[in-house]
Amino acid sequence: MKKIKMLSRGKTILTCITLFATVSLAVLMYFNRDWTLLWMYHDKSQEITILETQKEFWLPKWFSSRSQDAIVDKKPNTLQLDGWFHASARLDVSTSTYWSAPIVWDGTFKKSVLEDYYSKQKVTVGLTVFAIGKYLDKYLKTFLSSANNFFMVGHKVIFYVLVDDLSKMPWIELGPLRTFKVFQVNKESRWQDISMMRMKTIGDLIQSHIKYEVDFLFCMDVDQVFQGDYGLETLDESVAQLQAWFYKADKEDFTYERRPESTAYIPLMQGDYYYHGAVFGGTPLRVFNLTRECYEGIRRDKERNIEAVWHDESHLNKYYLRNKPTKLLSPEYCWDYKIGKSADIKNVKLSWMPKEYDVVRNNS
Ligand code: 4GW
Ligand code: MN
């Protein structure tokens, strides 16, 4: 009888311990949501969190008093960047979002203030670009030579070029402070996958190289050409590009994914802006989070046999709806001359190349 009593008491204690452990784990995971998500996406992703931000893994104080000082800052930054942006310098366009992120238009920024700040706070900026199949022959040379002339002139730049055929890499003489790193990637058989798989590849590349090498990163389409200075005013934690054809459109006309079955779904009356998939950027950590979340959405859609209407761009729009960008770039930073003359557009820094679908889209 005594034995039975002890056994059942043992069981109760065991149940209590299990319950306590489960609840504690749940509480820890809740307070460390960012870490938990990153950990689910990738095994080593915590490294990047520690390096790039001062995000700390939360532990109750009584559990460890040392947990608070175990963080390494990549570049301690004591300088303050003030007075670079003048929202009221352009009254003809909107220069701020409702969550107070600047929308950078020509005339709204003070180049001298930025140059002064970044001469003390030196930065290296990365730029990824994919050129697969016909896009390599047709667009890469123009993109890279124009980037060499106009992208972050006077500052250290690393071009990360991803191609399917290394032997076709064009010869380009780069200016001072710039270099490139070329990577071979497999060519996906469907063009939609060429575009979408960029999200996975960029995330992997941030893990393996980029996080050690740059302070800010941009990711761009190759079918574009730089036309004017694309400079320090574009740098921020999370940077999104307004799509040139939609910057004045009503939100119900945005071409978001409207089917609830897709992870990129945005209901009709929701949304802030229509962002362009051809340009996005930020710190390596922020871009990493973006690419992982978009890729996760793409993967889950594939499992459900659905593909978002504008592929990676639809997922990007969903991501930015949930994670507001800290800076927006006006359509001058990615203009399509096919739109025609517009008084808003004072100074084009990057423009779309003609599509010529008959040449590039017969992509065998
Ligand atoms: C249809 O036949 C294709 S091929 C659609 C995209 C293709 C493609 C895209 C490609 O064959 N090779 C390639 O390198 N890409 C990369 O994906 C390239 O960087 C390109 O700029 C990016 C997005 O494709 P896109 O510029 O054609 O997309 P949109 O029309 O949104 O600008
Ligand atoms: Mn494009």
Closest ligand relative to 311 C-alpha: 1
Question: Pick the catalytic residue: 56, 313, 332, 356?
Answer: 313
Per-residue buried b or exposed e for 104-129, using 16+ beta carbons within 10 Å of the residue's own CB: bbbebbeeebbeebbeeeebbbbbbb
SS3 content of the chain, % helix, strand, coil (to 5): 40, 15, 40
CATH H-level, domain 73-360: superfamily: Spore Coat Polysaccharide Biosynthesis Protein SpsA; Chain A (3.90.550.10)
**Residue 195, number of CB atoms within 10 A of its CB:** 18
Looking at ligand 1, which atom is closest to the CA of residue 223? Answer: 21
Distance, in Å, from the CA atom of 277 to the CA atom of 312, rounded to the nearest integer, reads 7
Our answer on whether the CB atom of 195 is closer than 6 Å to any ligand 1 atom is yes
Length of the chain: 364
Alpha-carbon distances of 309 from 194, 213, 221, 314, rounded to whole Å: 15, 34, 18, 7
Our answer on whether the CB atom of 132 is closer than 6 Å to any ligand 1 atom is yes
Our answer on whether the CB atom of 316 is closer than 6 Å to any ligand 1 atom is no
The secondary structure element, H or E, covering residue 36 is helix 33-41
**Residue 80, number of CB atoms within 10 A of its CB:** 7
Closest ligand relative to 358 C-alpha: 1
The 8 Å CB, 24+ separation contacts for 23-31 are 28/58, 28/59, 31/58
Do 363 and 191 form a contact (C-beta atoms < 8 A)?
yes
Could you list which residues have their CB under 5 Å from ion ligand 2?
221, 223, 278
Alpha-carbon distances of 261 from 225, 300, 301, 311, rounded to whole Å: 36, 10, 8, 14
pLDDT at 49: 36
Our answer on whether the CB atom of 135 is closer than 6 Å to any ligand 1 atom is yes
**Quick one: DSSP state of residue 192?**
H
Closest ligand relative to 138 C-alpha: 1
**Quick one: DSSP state of residue 207?**
I
296 is catalytic: no
pLDDT at 245: 98
Radius of gyration (C-alpha) of the chain in whole angstroms: 24
pLDDT at 74: 55
Alpha carbon of 326 to ligand 1 centroid (Å): 27
Each residue's pLDDT expressed in tens, for the chain with a length of 364 residues:
555 565 577 777 777 677 877 777 776 666 655 444 444 444 333 333 333 333 334 544 444 443 333 333 356 567 789 999 999 999 999 999 999 999 999 999 999 999 999 999 999 999 999 999 999 999 999 999 999 999 999 999 999 999 999 999 999 999 999 999 999 999 999 999 999 999 999 999 999 999 999 999 999 999 999 999 999 999 999 999 999 999 999 999 999 999 999 999 999 999 999 999 999 999 999 999 999 999 999 999 999 999 999 999 999 999 999 999 999 999 999 999 999 999 999 999 999 999 876 666 654 4
State whether residue 190 is helix, strand or coil.
coil
